[in-house]
Amino acid sequence: MGIRIIGTGRCIPENILTNDDLEKMVDTSDEWIVTRTGIKVRHIADKDQTSSDMAAVAAKNALDNAGITADMIDLIVVSTVTPDYAFPSVSALVQKKIGARKCPCFDIEAACSGFLYALNTAYGMMASPLAYKRVLVIGAEKMTSLVNWEDRSTCVLFGDGSAAVVLENDGNPDTPDFYVAGEVAADGEVSDLLIVPGGGSAMPATVESVTGKFHTIKMGGPKTFQLAVTSMVTACRKVLEKSGVSPEEVVWAIPHQANRRIIDAVANKLGIPEKVYLNVDRYGNTSSASIGICLDELNREGKIKKGDLILAASFGAGLTWAALLIRW
């Protein structure tokens, strides 16, 4: 259909939290963090900097990269687990902040898999009778707003940031779609492995819920690691099988940047360790922003060219997972 990615952008907060900084906050060390996660620094949003603020900056950067203006956007889809408010949506706030006020917008909540869920959804809506011509897809997270800074097993993992891509249908049937093949999946039976118990209808905010830190991330580490590797490898293999593409034809692999050991395990099982793009050491886990940040870095550094095949995969709370084979 001629649906392609025409622009990318990102927003990375200026404040940096190093492993040495964390040593002063909890019982941990740079060696412990790097050995177990590969993370060296992460970026932290200002207290008054929201997910929609970062999303709007990433969106403007993507629009500039695409060479179009906000009033040309027909739909905005935002993936986030850290919205500014329960409602309105982050996408509605972004619409206001960038001046794209004539388009519909909505949020997706699929945790770290959200960006790929959003790309799958946006492509489907562009290819449907709705026929949106230009769509802005954003992953935006202020993960540090959910962190318990006394829990060394989770506080070392997360950082903040946002990334965006602009999709356009140029109407030329001879233009290959960016979307080659995709896979999205979930297993709610293990939904308690990654959870923020407080803040929703199951546990509205109370003095007790706040003092008990029920509004922060709780994670079951070992089982999460195992399921993350298995789910991403399975999804990638399905996508490659659907598309008839071999691992050797993939130019870049972008696993969700959660943990270096998970990334290495996935790459080794797929037989493509030399093709993996890594930035987890510089950002930590930015949830649904991570794959988009990687794409923007690759794009702006000239490391991808027209026709290159990029295999992206993610997993997140839910448990959700997804993979997408992208043609640049």
Task: Work out the number of other CB atoms within 10 angstroms of the CB of residue 173.
Answer: 8
Catalytic residue among 256, 259, 294, 299: 256
Among 105, 112, 155, 236, the active-site one is 112
Beta strands in the chain (DSSP E): 3-11, 15-18, 41-44, 75-79, 105-108, 134-142, 160-169, 179-186, 194-195, 218-219, 252-255, 309-316, 320-327
Q: What is the DSSP letter of 187?
A: -
- Decide if 256 is catalytic: yes
Query: Can you tell me which residue has the tokens 């562009």?
Result: 126
Give SS3 for 24.
Answer: coil
Cα dihedral across residues 241, 244, 250, 254: positive or negative: negative
Distance CA 113, CA 288 (A): 6
Q: Who contacts 245 (Cβ-Cβ below 8 Å, separation ≥6)?
A: 180, 181, 309, 325
What is the spatial distance between Cα 109 and Cα 289, in angstroms, rounded to a whole number?
A: 12
Nearest CA-CA partner of 227 in 275, 170, 187: 187
| Catalytic site residue from 169, 285, 294, 299 | 285
Tell me, yes or no, if 215 is annotated catalytic: no
Residue 172 annotated in active site: no
b/e map 198-216, b = 16+ CB within 10 Å: bbeeeeeeeeeeeeebbbb
Burial tier of 72 (Cβ tally within 10 Å: 0-12, 13-18, 19+): middle
Q: Point out the residues that are catalytic.
A: 112, 256, 285
